[in-house]
Amino acid sequence: QAAIALENAILYKEAITDGLTQLFIHRYFQRRLDQELKRARRYGSSLTLTMLDIDHFKNFNDTYGHQVGDQVLKVVAELLSKNVRDVDIVSRYGGEEFTVISPEKTSDDFCVAAERLRKSIEDFPFEVDGKPVRITISLGIAAFPGDAEEKHELIEKADMALYQAKESGRNCFACWDESFLSKR
């Protein structure tokens, strides 16, 4: 029975994590965001959703190849995991896009963490064939309940904030602001 329990635990972990980055997969992210929103509503607390992606990653893959791109994805995933709290949920949203669910955080609270994440990627000594390459990320942040009450709205606003960070020159973060609606 112990062997079966262990095997089931291994299979479950494989079912909810991305094979390349070892982060949670999109489906698990969706489920956890539902759970964390229920918890935040129940206890009257907040949570922050951060969406981020690697700047100019398509060009990077086109230049250096997908295998090198995969190595960058792995390192970025490790750096993200190391630079958030244990209670934060880091997921691969798709492609070069990632999410961080941060319970008990407002977007103002998360600014320090967002800068730490951004800086950890920017400062990492990525190399291709012994030559340094610059990798940066852009981040968009939205919070429950201040910015959005519903899951789809929270995701949409974090995504719009991410778009704003990219429009502002990349390698930065943006917190949701109503003014983003007029820029669409």
Q: Which residues are catalytic?
A: 96
Q: 32 vs 28, 35, 37, 102, 174, CA distance in Å? A: 6, 5, 8, 11, 23
Q: How far apart are CA 31 and CA 29, in angstroms?
A: 5
Identity at 159, one-letter amino acid code:
D
Rounded-to-integer distance, Cα 175 and Cα 168, Å: 12
Q: Which residues are CB-contacts of 23 (< 8 A; sequence separation ≥ 6)?
A: 17, 77, 80, 81, 90, 91, 92, 98
Q: Are 107 and 176 in contact (CB under 8 A)?
A: yes
